[in-house]
Structure 1
Amino acid sequence: MEVSRLMRKKPRTVKLDTPLDIVWTLFAVKQMHMVPVVDEKNCLKGIITPEDLLKNLVPDYRNFFTEFYPDAPSIEDIEDQIDQQVHLTANDIMNKKVYTAYDYMDLFKALSRMMAYNVRILPVIDDDDHLKGFLVEKDIFRYLFTKKHHLFVKLKKIKKGATPTWSKKKKKVSLRELAENPKSKPSKLLKHLISKIK
């Protein structure tokens, strides 16, 4: 199954020159977990997460050791920094290192990529970097539960002591290696994921 069948389409985006206050609103009011930043051709340029917003405001961790740094900033100081950063744009704070999935990519390969990079949402792009949608981890699990219920039954039997036919000893391959290998088959990825659940 391809990513395009399960992805969320028509994602809300911001442009490179979108002011910081609008980005804040998307997180605070619209309760978004990630905002993609696109150019005028809808090509993905980066993403913004709440952590990207906060890292500009929250002081370095060393400042929290007040016994060594008696002048550690207060929450009021951080609030003042918000006012001082109104001039910033999405381009100033976005994260340019983005893990993505292609719309034609196999769903299980995309899931393994999510697990390898510890992300819960992958922007979905085409070959020209045009943003097509989002792949959300919980949507994949919902699909697996409703459409692939037999896998859960099989896992339950395995936990009770039945040995699966595919559990023969083979060369160990990491999930990241499988995710990044263009020749890896979806069935290998799925078997690897199931073996991690045991």
Structure 2
Amino acid sequence: MEIGNCTNLIFLGFAETQLSSHIPEEIGNCCELQILYLDRTLISGPIPSRIGMLKRTQQLSLYRTQLSGHIPGEIGNCSELQILYLYKTLISGPIPSRIGSCKELIVIDLSMNLLTGSIPRSFGNCTELKYFDVTNNFLTGSIPRSFRKLVKLQFLHLSFNQLSGIIPVEIVNCTKLTNLTLGYNKFSGQIPVGPLAI
């Protein structure tokens, strides 16, 4: 049976198994899929671009795998996506700015990968975001000032990268923050204080 023929699938889970091979392109045919669990498996290879056809998917759990290649920008087509777990893999390259189109995102965890480039400003559009973690990568650039719009953000973890510049004063708009880790980067200047930025 080919997984692509199961067009009525809502939940697909193979978590914590010895599953290997790769994610088939035909996964894009499962247009009703809401939750995909492939975490803690031996699955490898790239994330197929056709994963962007899963427009009803709310959770993608692909962490602790051997996935490699780049994060496909087509994930930005998953307009109902709320949780993206993609930590501790072999994923490399830039973070696609198109993911910022997923305005329902609550959790983004891309930590412990080989990601390069900057943090996309478009993530400021994800105003439901509560948890953002990109620790242990090779990211450069500064913290986007657009993060001032993330007023529901509670956890912001950026440590162990190569980020630089000043810590934007706009970060004080994130009044719900309970955990902020910025260590082991190249930030300079002062710790932001004072009234909320406009």
With the length of structure 1 as denominator, give the TM-score of the two structures.
0.26
Q: Rg bigger for which structure?
A: 1
Larger RCO (alpha carbons 8 Å, 6+ apart)? 1
Structure in which a larger fraction of residues adopt strand: 2
With the length of structure 2 as denominator, give the TM-score of the two structures.
0.26
